[in-house]
């Protein structure tokens, strides 16, 4: 659990961390966030996460609350102050700031709000989960068209994750009105076709540009695997030889069931586990 938060230039006990009631993030979800994974006591893929944060800010026409170089110095300090020495995560959120409630952007100069928290993650439990794989369900795609922006507006994602939890699943996959699987509520989704080709949805406005996705693509190509970034249907997914999810804190997580339908032999696939091991070796 995070004990110290960073709020607008101050390190404060989490229980005393506060933002203004007229903060636009609170009233309009007018903000972005980023999750920085921590493994073996250090921040993983930090530069790429900062790049994605910059893209999200640009997408919402928001400014930086601090220079990126200053933020890069605060992040490891948050690990130190919160005693995160092994696996964990840093959550960073930036909103447009405090202004009297009005849908249009506030006039004049408004300073963005910055909140950062850090906490440990039980990586041993994640590793154990990967050995058995996870179940996922599907839900209709009902999010806004700019899923490439890491917005704090996550109500559809939250409801999808809750639906998954109520059905004993770990994740919900979005399926659009054409039957295309886009991504998970908090992850990138991949399949391995029966012919061994690795597939994931192409980048664009439909999905978040996952940083872990970016690393796994690099690893797969270094291994000489055939990779296709193209749309695929739910019908293709349930016939896949293997499937897995990627995300900042789950790394590569094998999927063994979709909507109760067993994939392959019902166990984590060899390629999924191989990519997970290679990913961990890379970040170590």
Q: Which of 68, 102, 121 is the last residue of a domain?
A: 121
Nearest CA among 47, 143, 38, 40 for reference residue 91: 38
Q: Is 16 a catalytic residue?
A: no
Question: Residues 6 or more apart from 267 whose CB is under 8 A from it?
Answer: 132, 133, 256
Q: What is the mean pLDDT of the chain?
A: 96
For residues 73 and 143, membership in a common domain is answered with no
For residues 147 and 239, membership in a common domain is answered with yes
pLDDT at 267 over 70: yes
Range of the domain at 239: 126-283
* 197 burial level (CB within 10 Å; 0-12, 13-18, 19+): middle
Backbone phi and psi for residue 172, each to the nearest 5 degrees, phi listed first: -115, 130
Which of these is catalytic: 16, 109, 111, 150? 150
For residues 138 and 109, membership in a common domain is answered with no
208 CB-side CA count, 13 A: 31
pTM: 0.95
Q: Which of 121, 136, 156 is the last residue of a domain?
A: 121
pLDDT digits (tens, 9 = 90+) for 49-81: 999 999 999 999 999 999 999 999 999 999 999
User: What CATH number has the domain bearing residue 200?
Assistant: 3.20.10.10
Contact call for residues 54 and 34 (beta carbons, < 8 A): no
For residues 72 and 139, membership in a common domain is answered with no
pLDDT digits (tens, 9 = 90+) for 152-206: 999 999 999 999 999 999 999 999 999 999 999 999 999 999 999 999 999 999 9
Count of the separate structural domains present in the chain? 2
Q: Which of 61, 92, 121 is the last residue of a domain?
A: 121
For residues 111 and 166, membership in a common domain is answered with no
For residues 85 and 200, membership in a common domain is answered with no
For residues 89 and 116, membership in a common domain is answered with yes
């Amino acid at each position: 659990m995070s004990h110290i938060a960073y709020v607008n230039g101050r390190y404060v006990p989490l229980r005393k961390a506060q933002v203004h009631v007229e903060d636009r993030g609170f009233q309009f979800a007018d903000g972005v966030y980023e999750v920085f994974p921590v493994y073996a006591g250090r921040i993983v893929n930090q530069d790429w996460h900062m790049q994605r944060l910059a893209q999200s800010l640009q997408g919402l026409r928001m400014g930086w609350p601090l220079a990126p170089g200053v933020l890069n110095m605060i992040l490891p300090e948050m690990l130190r102050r919160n005693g995160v020495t092994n696996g964990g995560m840093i959550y960073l959120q930036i909103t447009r700031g405090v202004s009297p409630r009005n849908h249009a952007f506030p006039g004049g100069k408004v300073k963005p709000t910055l909140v950062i928290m850090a906490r440990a993650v039980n990586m041993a439990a994640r590793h154990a989960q990967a050995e058995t794989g996870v179940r996922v369900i599907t839900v209709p795609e009902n999010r806004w068209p700019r899923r490439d922006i890491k917005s704090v507006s996550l109500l559809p994602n939250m409801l999808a994750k809750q639906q998954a939890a109520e059905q004993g699943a770990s994740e919900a996959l979005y399926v659009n009105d054409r039957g295309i699987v886009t991504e998970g509520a908090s992850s990138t989704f991949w399949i391995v076709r029966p012919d061994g080709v690795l597939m994931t949805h192409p980048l664009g406005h439909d999905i978040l540009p996952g940083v872990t996705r970016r690393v796994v693509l690099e690893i797969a190509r270094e291994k000489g695997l055939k990779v296709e970034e193209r749309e695929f249907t739910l019908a293709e997914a349930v016939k896949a030889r293997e499937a897995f999810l990627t995300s900042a804190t789950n790394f590569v997580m094998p999927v063994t069931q979709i909507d109760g339908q067993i994939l392959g032999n019902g166990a984590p696939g060899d390629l999924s586990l191989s990519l997970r091991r290679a990913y961990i070796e890379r970040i170590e």
